[in-house]
Amino acid sequence: MAPVQSPEYGTSPESWERTVEFKFAKHKPVHPGYYNAVWSNFGTTYGSLYWDGTNFGEWEFGKFKPIASVDRWSGYNWDTADWANRPPEPPSIICDNKKCGWKGMSEERRTDDDYTDHCPACDGTEFSWIDYDPDSKEGRANRAKYIGN
């Protein structure tokens, strides 16, 4: 008899594509797969657990071991059945120069010989990360502003 294979482990969602945290007692995941979870295991544990459609658990030596103490979970905010469904990544940084307001990806900045990053629009050197945390007011406002969800 062939050993049982655990499902392929996927990547965790970036903050911009993560759902809010759900209380497990009130909301269960719809699709089997890996989710970010918080559970009790000699203290509070954070990490990825597999949802088999009935229970959260971990795979050890090809066997699924359910974990009954899951408190909260979150996942992707898009249908991961096909990665073509993944929305485009929104800008990750914004130039702190209020007159400029450039926003884009970190790798779009110009780096000089002293390894200082510069804004491609105004040559400024101060930037802020854009917060997309769905559990914070600022993150939800940025989601609405930059990615529409």
Bridge partners of 66?
A: 57
pLDDT at residue 147 greater than cutoff 90: no
Among the listed ranges 6-10, 56-60, 64-68, 76-80, which one has the minimum average pLDDT value?
Answer: 6-10
Cα separation, 23 vs 103, whole angstroms: 34
Q: Give me the pLDDT at residue 149, please.
A: 61
Greater confidence (112 vs 148) lies with: 112
- Whole-angstrom distance, CA of residue 145 vs CA of residue 137: 12
| 88 CB-near residues (< 8 Å, 6+ apart) | none
Q: Which residue has the tokens 């940025």?
A: 142
> How high is the mean pLDDT of the chain?
90
Which of 12-21, 34-43, 58-67, 117-126 tops mean pLDDT? Answer: 117-126
pLDDT of amino acid 78:
85
